[in-house]
Structure 1
Amino acid sequence: MRGIRWRVRGRDRAALESLRRYTRYNILFSVFAVGSVLVLAEVRDHLDAARLVALVAGLVLGGLGHWRWTVRSIDGPIERMPWWQAGALTALAGGLLAIAFGTEGHGVVWSLAAGLIGHDLLIGRFPEAGWRFGVGFAALMGLTAAVSMVVTGQPGAPGQGVLTFALTLLMTYAEVLLLRQWRLTLELEKARHDAAELATTKERLRLAEDLHDILGHALEVVSLKSELASRLSEVDPERSRAELTEVQRLARGAVHDVRALVQGRRSTELVIEMAGARGLLESAGIRWQFTGDPARLGAESSELLGRVLREAVTNLLRHADASHCLVRLEIRRDRAVLHVRNDGVAPMRQDGREGSGLRGLNRRITEAGGEFSAEPHGNAFEVRAEVPR
């Protein structure tokens, strides 16, 4: 099991650091407790000094290895353990058991030290092997214990070998739960961080689509009225000045809409968009017909259908040579359907792709549980949106 680190901030960082310290202290405490039990067991029996020195020296080397491969894995990723170190640690574990079982004393308790070394090998060299390595390593330690007793002529080798196998396997996995808790905490933190990043990205996308709608619509209207004012400048100066005044009003309105959007106060309700679309189409000389009752819509459906109407009118002015526009709102039991149909369809793009505004509408309507389509029908083009009420 490898250590993992992800960047976090503020209180989350403090909470993770607290859990990191808790996990580290628990592992260090387990090493200290195991070491104390082993040393006290040796001292209590007043065994020979050579055995005690050899076992304590092996215990110190095993403790250093445990710090290197287990405790440090909590602070960050660890590299793969070299094969020569894996072999040295395996020999150290086997040597401890050979000394413990080959001489008089409590040999089986040293299976705990062998288990700690087995855990280091598991996370440093064989993380993919999992339980297969644990069982194999414990079996090797049990065999070492049994062979040591047979060689030295001690009775009960099979039973001690089985007990050594069980204790080694238990100790190998004793710290797995602690490290797994730490790993799961980091993975949950990463998932939370990714969710926050995704929410930020979606909000940026929403803002970009709204800006496209606002500025695309406003610039199209400004372009239309500026062109009209230019044509009227000589034949009807009064009308030309009125159109230029309207251009100024539209530009100021677009700035206001952008500010309201950034502050989260801009509304695109269908009733509001209808009023703007009516004035725009009339100024462009396009006949307008509307049927339906927008007052029966809910807030969310009115907002969505308002966006549809605004984008449809913008595309009508930009891409079609229309003389008539029909807007029909159907209110059903639990659905609302808006049809925006105009004549004078321009030739379709050769690549068959939709504009970004239509793609954004399609995504919004679909996410809301509705259906969206925008396609030509002969010499007409129809935008259809169906949303829940």
Structure 2
Amino acid sequence: MKDWFKPHPDSLLGKLGSPTYLRWESLANLAWVIALFIAPLADPRMSWTRWLLPTAASAPLYLYLHFRVYTGPYRLLPWYAGAMAALGFIVWPFNGVALGYVVSAAMCLAYLPSLRRWLVALVLLAIPTAIVGQLQHVSPWIMLVVGLASVVSGFGHFLRMNNHRKDAALRLSQEEVRRLATLAERERIGRDLHDLLGHTLSLVTIKSELARRLALVDPERAQREMEEVERVARHALAEVRTAVTGMRRGDLAAELVSARLMLEASGVGFNGALPEGTLLPPQVEAPLALVLREAVTNIHRHAKAQSASVTFQVEKGHLQMQVSDDGCGGLSAHGNGVSGMRERVRALGGNVQIDSPPRRGTVLTVRVPLDRKSVPDVAADAPPTELDNRSAA
């Protein structure tokens, strides 16, 4: 039974990752069903013996079709919508509010992948609607108002769905880029380690075999060979540590680009700036990059923000990084993520300040000391280089 409620992988919800907004929209589209029963009761000319049975029989079928529009195979969406419209044409003579079945079908057709297909489907739906409306002696003005309302509402649905399709495609492309980048990095690391250790390990093997042969014949030379093996091994170990340190090194510029991609893909506008000419020591830049990554991840997962920004300021031998958002606020100052930030910054001799009142956003300020030789004097006065303009959420 649980699988029955699970969206089909090729369904509307399945294709878009089951966005919350679409679930609420589907529930909002059902609000008119209440009027389907209340309106006839308020009309003294309506006899319940005429409208109640067909209305009550049609409601469960409509709810099923409406549910399948969002969770069923996407290729069958026009058929579900068409069945909803047909249900409306059948019940309309008994209950005039059943015209809502047709309107709901028109709105669901707006989920089709192209504007042209939606307009064609709308025209095909409008023809029988006009015929049935004339047979029911419905005022042309009422039909015109209902038709315009359906078109405007449906067009709003279409635009939102189009934006969600683009966002979903963007997320897929970003995942593919990350996958390819990870694969390329693994191949690069493999080549570097091969070039770095291949010759060294071969030399160690040869020297060790020679020392083993000379151990009994010429112990002094064997000892010299083993000393050479030790020297070569220590040199290789130092090179490996240097390479690994370079792989682990954080890059603030790269983190800003990654933050923009992550936040804008989830509909959060982002603005990031880095003082031009600033050259940070690796021992400072790497921890700050990790702090920035954690802060952006918190915004993405928990803040429910519309926009976020990251600014840097260099002055008096200190670097100040400020990460702010306009989200729900209420960030705990003692969470695991915040504790990790504090530990990294404390190791640099700096401090972290958090201003996160509930429902008023969060401002995270990090201030760390710098080596004056690594920061040009003009860095503090130089205009910031904009990484990107703020995007609309």
TM-score, structure 1 length as denominator? Answer: 0.46
TM-score relative to the length of structure 2 = 0.46
Rg comparison, structure with higher value: 1
